[in-house]
C-alpha cells in the first residue's frame, strides 16, 4: 500500500533508500532533491503536449493524451529502475504530489515495491528549503585574506571531527574573479539552495558548523539572505598569513591556467582594480611574469577583504597568526583556540 508523507518524514525516511523524481528531464535538470534519481513519467516533449491540450481543451482530454504515453513510460521506468537499484523501498515525488507520482507509485506497488510519495511534491520540498535557512544555527566562520588556505583548513577540521560546509564546493566557484577556473559549470541558484539545505539537514544543529568567510555572492550564486545574516553575526577565526606566503599559494593555484583566461578574469574586475593596475597586470601576464601580476591582484583583494572585515565588530574576530599556508598545522591551532573560546562564543 502506498503511503503519503510530509516533507520532514520523506527526507528522514528516504536517507538510505532511492528517491525517484518522476518530473520531466527539464524540471529535474533545473533543480532537484540532492541524490534523487530521474525517472520521468513523461519526456519534455510529452509534458509540453499534455500541457497544451490542458490549456486548450481541459483536464479530461489532457488525461487521455497522458494515458497514451503512460504504458510505454511505465515499461521504461520499471526496466530502468531494475538497472539502478535492488532496493524494494522507494520514495517517489513529482511537482505537486498529484497524478504523476500517484500513477507511478500505484504501478510500482503492483510490482511489489514498498512505495511512499511526497505530499505536495517537490513544491513542498522547495518551501522547506527556503524556510530552513532561517533556522538558527551555531555557525562559526573561518576567515582570512585571499590565499590563506581557508578551504584546505576547513577540510582538515572536518577530518578532526568538526562539522563544516564548503560553500565554494556547492557553488562550483572559489569566490574571486578567477574562481571559476578549473571548476565545473555552476549549478542553478535553486540547485545550490537545495544542496545547501540538505547538507545542513544531515548535520547536528546543536554543534558548531564551520563555514568559510565569503561574500554573499559566490560567482554566479547568492547565499540566501537569512543564512548570510547569521554568517555576518557569527564569531570569526581569522587566519593572519603573511602576504608572501599567500602569494606563493595563489600562484600555485592559478599560475597554471592559460594566460588568456587570466587576462579575461582580470578584465572582469578592471573598473574596481583601476586603469593603471589593470594595464600592468595584463602586461605582466603577457610577459609571463606571474608573480608580478598576482602581487597586484592580491593587494587589490586584500583591500577588499579588509573593507568587509571592518563591517564586523572587533569582539567578533579572533586573530590567529599563521606563518605559512599549511593546512594541518593551521587546523590544529584553530581547533585549540576555538575550543578555548567556546564559552564566550555562546555557540
Residue showing cell 598545522: 329
* pLDDT for residue 344: 42
Residue 156 near residue 143 (C-beta atoms within 8 A) = no
Residue 210 has pLDDT above 50, yes or no: yes
> In the CATH hierarchy, which top-level class contains the domain 136-345?
alpha beta
User: Tens of pLDDT along 220-233?
Assistant: 999 999 999 999 99
Q: What is the DSSP string of 160-178?
A: TT-EEE-HHHHHT--SSTT
Residue 50 annotated among the catalytic residues of the structure? no
Q: Helix or strand or coil: residue 326?
A: coil
Say how far apart CA 60 and CA 66 lie, in whole Å: 10
- Active-site pick, 94, 181, 231, 247: 94
Domain boundaries, the chain: 3-131, 136-345
- Give mean pLDDT, residues 126-135: 97
Domains 3-131 and 136-345 share a fold: no
The model's pTM: 0.91
Residue 296 near residue 281 (C-beta atoms within 8 A) = yes
The CATH label, of 3.40.50.720, 3.40.250.10, 3.40.50.920, 3.40.50.360, for the domain at 3-131 is: 3.40.250.10
User: Tens of pLDDT along 299-332?
Assistant: 999 999 999 888 899 899 999 999 999 888 888 9
Residue 7 has pLDDT above 90, yes or no: yes
Amino acid at each position: 500500500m502506498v503511503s503519503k508523507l510530509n516533507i520532514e518524514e520523506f527526507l528522514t525516511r528516504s536517507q538510505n533508500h532511492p528517491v525517484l523524481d518522476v518530473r520531466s528531464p527539464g524540471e529535474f535538470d533545473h533543480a532537484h532533491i540532492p541524490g534523487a534519481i530521474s525517472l520521468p513519467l513523461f519526456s519534455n516533449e510529452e509534458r509540453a503536449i499534455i500541457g497544451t491540450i490542458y490549456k486548450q481543451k481541459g483536464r479530461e482530454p489532457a488525461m487521455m493524451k497522458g494515458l497514451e504515453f503512460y504504458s510505454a513510460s511505465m515499461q521504461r521506468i520499471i526496466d530502468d529502475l531494475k538497472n539502478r537499484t535492488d532496493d524494494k523501498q522507494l520514495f517517489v515525488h513529482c511537482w505537486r504530489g498529484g497524478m504523476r507520482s500517484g500513477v507511478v507509485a500505484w504501478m510500482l506497488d503492483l510490482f511489489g515495491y514498498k512505495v511512499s510519495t511526497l505530499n505536495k511534491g517537490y513544491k513542498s520540498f522547495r518551501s522547506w528549503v527556503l524556510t530552513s535557512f532561517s533556522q538558527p544555527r551555531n555557525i562559526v566562520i573561518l576567515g582570512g585574506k585571499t590565499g590563506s588556505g581557508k578551504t584546505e583548513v576547513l577540510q582538515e577540521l572536518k577530518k578532526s571531527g568538526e562539522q563544516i560546509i564548503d560553500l565554494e564546493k556547492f557553488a562550483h566557484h572559489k569566490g574571486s574573479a578567477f574562481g571559476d577556473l578549473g571548476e565545473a559549470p555552476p549549478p542553478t541558484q535553486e540547485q545550490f539552495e537545495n544542496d545547501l539545505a540538505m547538507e545542513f539537514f544531515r548535520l547536528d544543529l546543536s554543534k558548531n558548523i564551520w563555514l568559510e568567510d565569503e561574500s554573499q555572492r559566490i560567482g554566479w550564486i547568492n547565499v540566501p539572505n537569512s543564512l548570510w545574516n547569521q554568517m555576518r553575526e557569527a564569531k570569526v577565526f581569522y587566519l593572519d598569513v603573511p602576504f608572501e606566503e599567500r602569494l606563493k599559494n595563489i600562484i600555485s593555484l592559478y599560475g597554471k591556467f592559460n594566460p588568456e583566461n587570466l587576462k579575461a578574469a582580470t578584465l572582469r574586475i578592471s573598473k574596481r582594480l583601476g586603469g593603471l593596475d589593470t594595464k600592468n597586470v595584463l602586461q605582466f601576464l603577457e610577459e609571463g611574469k606571474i608573480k608580478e601580476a598576482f602581487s597586484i591582484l592580491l593587494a587589490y583583494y586584500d583591500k577588499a577583504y579588509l573593507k568587509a572585515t571592518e563591517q564586523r565588530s572587533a569582539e567578533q574576530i579572533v586573530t590567529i597568526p599563521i606563518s605559512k599556508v599549511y593546512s594541518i598545522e593551521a587546523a590544529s591551532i584553530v581547533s585549540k583556540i576555538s575550543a578555548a573560546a567556546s564559552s564566550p562564543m555562546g555557540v
